[in-house]
Amino acid sequence: MKKTLFALLFVSSFAAAESFINSFEYGEMLYKNPRGVGCDKCHGKYGEGMNIGSYQKNNKTIKIVAPKISKSSFNDIKNSLKFNKKRSVMPEYFLTDSEIEALIYYLKKINEGSGG
């Protein structure tokens, strides 16, 4: 009897933990603060992309632009986070596949109906 009760409590604790935060909230948390600096700081509130700064080089203004990511695919985001060797200001976040999926879900949901 004690073993059955313990097993039931153990299984139900995992079920409760899974519903603690939904996919949207998880994606929002990751988008706004994945590992210290949020995606929104450079890519914008809706992933619309932003000019994040500029500098002068050889009397020429060089703009630093974070691209639009609101409609990016899983592979696009994964490749930009993990495999982009040219990146100069983009932090490397070491996100898991499930975290990337949550980010994409969040971006899709916040852009529904916004035209983003």
Nearest of 116, 99, 98, 86 to residue 34 by alpha carbon: 99
* Residue 44 near residue 69, CB atoms below 8 Å: no
Identify the pLDDT of residue 88: 66
d(CA 39, CA 22): 19
**CA–CA distance, 30 with 108 (Å, rounded to integer):** 14
| Structural tokens at position 74 | 């899983």
Show the low-confidence residues of the chain (pLDDT under 50): 5, 14, 16
DSSP state of 83: T
pLDDT at 100: 93
Per-residue confidence (pLDDT) for residue 1, from 0 to 100: 57
Integer Cα distance of 29 and 67 in angstroms: 20
Identify the pLDDT of residue 89.
76
Q: Check residue 78 and give its pLDDT.
A: 86
Q: φ and ψ at 19, to 5 degrees? A: -95, 5
